[in-house]
Amino acid sequence: MKSSSPSLLKATFAIVRKDLAAEFRSFELISAMLIFSLLVIIIFNFALELDIKTREAVNAGVLWTTFAFAGTLGLNRSMSVEKDRGCMDGLLLAPVDRSAIYFGKALSNLAFMVIVEAIVLPVYSMLYNVNLFRIDLLAVIILGSIGYTAVGTLLATMSVQTRMREVLLPILLFPIAIPVLLAAVKASGGLLAGSTFAEIMTPFNLLVVYDVIFIAIAFMVFDFVVEE
């Protein structure tokens, strides 16, 4: 069923509002992602404390490792709640274009990830003594998060149908998301090392291209995934 653009947007944002309202009543998902993220950066901080130069060299890698694992936890939990409560079946039976379901879930997952990142970044800056509040770096983080949640939402929808969904999602997601993560790490690492924005344009442009490709592919195959 294909909807008009206004109907598609209305259905998409209705799903986003539902997810945000449900989460802000309990904070189960955000709190789990946040605690996990803080534990990861604290552990890395102690592990790399003896070698300051190494810590400076791997800042981007540690940052994106934290975001990737926390994002995976959020994606898994987000779709599991929908499945366990029977909400996904209700969404599929609703008279709306199924692409609205994908975009709604992707936007809500992105919102959760951005909220966690907004809390993690100042803590990371303090522990690692690095300035992360730069427009160019924040742009890279947002683009990386978009690509990760775009493909992650699709794969989480696939894996939630299985009994081993907690294990299956990382196995499927990490290999496919490698291009996004590598481009994000290279762009972030270059900026943290003092490179100008012009010098990191290649990984930045790759990040934009990967985002567009992953969103387009997920949009095209989402109907087939939920029908299975």
Q: What is the pLDDT of residues 50-73, one digit of tens each?
A: 567 777 778 899 999 999 999 999
152 pLDDT band, cuts 50/70/90, is very high
Q: Is 96 helix (H, G, I), strand (E, B) or coil?
A: coil
d(CA 178, CA 176): 6
Residue range 71-96: average pLDDT? 77
Spell out the domain ranges in the chain.
Answer: 5-227
Confidence at 113, pLDDT banded by 50, 70, 90: very high
Q: What is residue 77's predicted lDDT score, i.e. its pLDDT? A: 84
Mean pLDDT along residues 194-212: 92
Taking Cα atoms as reference points, which of 98, 136, 108, 75 lies closest to residue 3? 98
Confidence of residue 83 (pLDDT cuts 50, 70, 90): confident
User: In the block, which residue shows the tokens 């983080």?
Assistant: 141
Burial bucket for residue 56 (CB in 10 Å: 0-12, 13-18, 19+)? middle
Two tokens, residue 196: 């100008």
Sign of CA dihedral 104, 106, 107, 113: positive
Contact (Cβ atoms closer than 8 angstroms) between residue 7 and residue 99: no
CB contact at 8 A, 33 and 68: no
List pLDDT tens digits, range 24-46. 988 888 999 999 999 999 888 88
If you compute the radius of gyration of the chain from its CA atoms, what whole number of angstroms results? 18
- What pLDDT score was predicted for residue 51? 66
pLDDT at 153: 92
Asked whether residue 116 carries a pLDDT value surpassing 60, the answer given is: yes
Mean pLDDT of 164-185: 90
pLDDT at 108: 94
Burial of 106-138, coded b for 16+ CB within 10 Å and e otherwise, reads: bbbbbbbbebbbeebbeebeebbeeebeeebbe
The predicted pLDDT at position 1 comes to 45
